[in-house]
Amino acid sequence: MLLVLALIARSIARNWAAFQSVHVTLQPRIGWLAASVAVVFLTYAIQIESWRRMLRGWGQHIPYTSAARAWTIANLGRYIPGKVWSVAGLVVLAERAGVRRSAAAVSAFAMQAVVLGTGVVLVAIATPHAASPILLGGAVVAALALIGVLAWRRTAQWLGALADATTPLPPLPVSAILASSALMLLSWTTFGLAFWMLARGLISATVPVPAAMGMFALGYVMGIIAVFAPGGMVVRDLALVGFLTPFLGSGGALALSLASRVQLTLTEVGGAGLMLSLKSGGKEKLSGS
């Protein structure tokens, strides 16, 4: 935790210093900025529920507060190089909350496929010309293939036995996959809306709402794919600057990209801090197998 906090503090300091050095005229509007932060927290809440719906498909009914605690704290692992830390953290914290280890492990990896797949779907809908159709199609196919492994009986039984040879996980019901994916797609929409509000709150130039949604999702997805970039930094920021420059100019695009990075870092830390401040009741009793 000390290492994570140190890396986060360094990230905030660097991004804030870079943000202050940008030569662009900003016109802060407190109302839009506050609304953007509120929608970001709403996005986190939707993503947590998406994960709960997937776990529910295996009969794991984790209370929302426990799920929120595991999700927000594990999410800080993204700031350590290598994407494995956030996934591993989610597995450990979910198991401590009472989730079966096999369900926690498989769901942590499956959620990565849901995040990527639904993010690419939003990009294809909102900004179809922002990326290569081959790249978008390949990402969707890869995500669907991994989700299909969870739903198809043979591969699901094999994966379930690999995670827990004693009591293998059953195939994940299609209804659970659809519910989790629908909520995650909704969260991408609210994420993009928060990004658009942030732009309205900082810069006089405007970005169309669909473009803001698609560009944010594409930049975020590229940051996720960049395995060795902590929190998707640099890769995501450079992508956003490239996408936004035609709308805001180079200075405005850089300012908005850095402001978004600072906002997300602070909200992620704030969400985890809020959950850490709540008293942990230890393992909570779950219904189901």
Question: pLDDT tens digits, residue range 13-40?
Answer: 666 666 556 566 677 889 999 999 999 9
Q: Considering Cα of 42, then 226, then 120, then 12, what sign does the dihedral take?
A: positive
| Average confidence (pLDDT) over 102-112 | 84
Q: Are the CB atoms for 80 and 110 separated by under 8 Å? A: no
Q: Give the pLDDT score at 133.
A: 65
pTM for the whole structure: 0.82
Say which residues have a Cβ less than 8 Å from residue 127's Cβ, sequence separation at least 6.
Answer: 210, 211, 213, 214, 215, 218
Highest mean pLDDT among 48-52, 71-75, 99-103, 109-113: 48-52
253 Cα distance to chain centroid? 22
The token duo for 7 is 């890396």
pLDDT band at 251 (very low <50, low <70, confident <90, very high): confident
Long-range (24+ apart) CB contacts under 8 A made by 222-226 are: 224/83, 224/112, 224/115, 224/116, 224/119, 225/116
Question: Lowest-pLDDT range, 52-66, 79-93, 115-129, 130-144?
Answer: 130-144
SS3 6: helix
Question: Lowest-pLDDT range, 23-32, 44-53, 184-193?
Answer: 23-32
14 Cα distance to chain centroid? 22
Between CA 89 and CA 1 the distance in angstroms is 11
Other beta carbons less than 10 A from residue 27's beta carbon: 10
Of the chain, the percentage scoring pLDDT greater than 70 comes to 72
Average pLDDT, the chain: 80
Q: Which of 58, 171, 186 is nearest to 114 (CA)?
A: 186
Compute the 3-state secondary structure of the chain and give helix, strand, coil in percent, each to the nearest 5.
80, 0, 20
Between 284 and 128, name the one with better pLDDT.
128
Other beta carbons less than 10 A from residue 115's beta carbon: 20
> What is the four-CA torsion angle of 185, 190, 192, 195, rounded to 10 degrees?
-160
pLDDT band at 70 (very low <50, low <70, confident <90, very high): very high
pLDDT band at 196 (very low <50, low <70, confident <90, very high): very high
pLDDT band at 287 (very low <50, low <70, confident <90, very high): very low
The token duo for 30 is 């407190």
Q: Are the CB atoms for 259 and 198 separated by under 8 Å? A: yes
Between CA 173 and CA 152 the distance in angstroms is 9
> What is the four-CA torsion angle of 217, 219, 224, 226, rounded to 10 degrees?
160
CB burial readout 86-97, b (16+ within 10 A) else e: bbebbbbbbbbb
Rounded to 5°, angle at Cα 42 from 82 and 181: 65
